[in-house]
A and B are shown apart, each in its own frame.
Chain A
Amino acid sequence: DADVTQTPRNRITKTGKRIMLECSQTKGHDRMYWYRQDPGLGLRLIYYSFDVKDINKGEISDGYSVSRQAQAKFSLSLESAIPNQTALYFCATSTGAGELFFGEGSRLTVL
């Protein structure tokens, strides 16, 4: 089983719908991140959390919200999806020693 698991792996939805992407980890790491990947733009940070009570905005948080339900779970929500949120989303964890551990990604298409 993967150490960082993202669900769903693929999702197609319509403009205006609420979407939740979930991430769970078995690595025991305190730090968790949500990134968005777009072709030619690399990875951009949406939100990050250094422990259960700590939530921080990244560079592109508008239109997104997160919830850290437990040390192992970090969910990303799109309250009202729009087409330019079509992207590949990655959850990652870290011990803080530099290396990020990534899930396999959630591909979201907003029509």
Chain B
Amino acid sequence: AQSVTQPDIHITVSEGASLELRCNYSYGATPYLFWYVQSPGQGLQLLLKYFSGDTLVQGIKGFEAEFKRSQSSFNLRKPSVHWSDAAEYFCAAEGGGSYIPTFGRGTSLIVHP
């Protein structure tokens, strides 16, 4: 079955530190891949997406993600975290022309001052 796994339920970092949120997928072929962010009381907003081509994808708010086919991973990174980055982050995948994204369970990012 197709699935998206985010191994970390919570991640705590200090402001200014680097960040990496993990995402693994299980699909028959390489799916489209997405990262969304949900700020408290808000809906989800797209950070970045990968369809094909360059495996390092740049997104909004200083985020980037790297697609690694050999590891079935699409990890999200940011070199220096700001307090305003505290939020819930969701990885999602869409495959086989379904137009139906499957979401991971989310990772809650806590930022300490």
- Min C-beta distance of B5 to chain A, whole Å: 10
- Min C-beta distance of B109 to chain A, whole Å: 15
Q: In the complex the two chains form, what is the Cα distance from A99 to B32 in whole Å?
A: 10
Chain B hits for A50, CB < 8 A:
99
Q: Please judge, given known A-B contacts A100-B44, A104-B43, whether A40 and B34 are in contact too, CB under 8 Å.
A: no
Minimal Cβ-Cβ distance residue in A for B97:
A96
Which of B44, B45, B90 is packed against the most chain A CB atoms within 10 Å? B44
Interface extent on B, as a size class? 20 to 34
Contacting B at CB under 8 A, from A79-111, are: 90, 92, 94, 96, 98-100, 102-105
Contacting A at CB under 8 A, from B64-113, are: 90, 92, 94, 99-101, 103-106
Q: Any chain A CB within 8 A of the CB of B9?
A: yes
Q: In the complex the two chains form, what is the Cα distance from A80 to B92 in whole Å?
A: 31
Cβ-neighbour of B34 out of A4, A31, A41, A99 (below 8 A): A99
List residues of chain A with CB under 8 Å of any chain B CB.
4, 31, 35, 40-45, 48, 50, 58, 90, 92, 94, 96, 98-100, 102-105
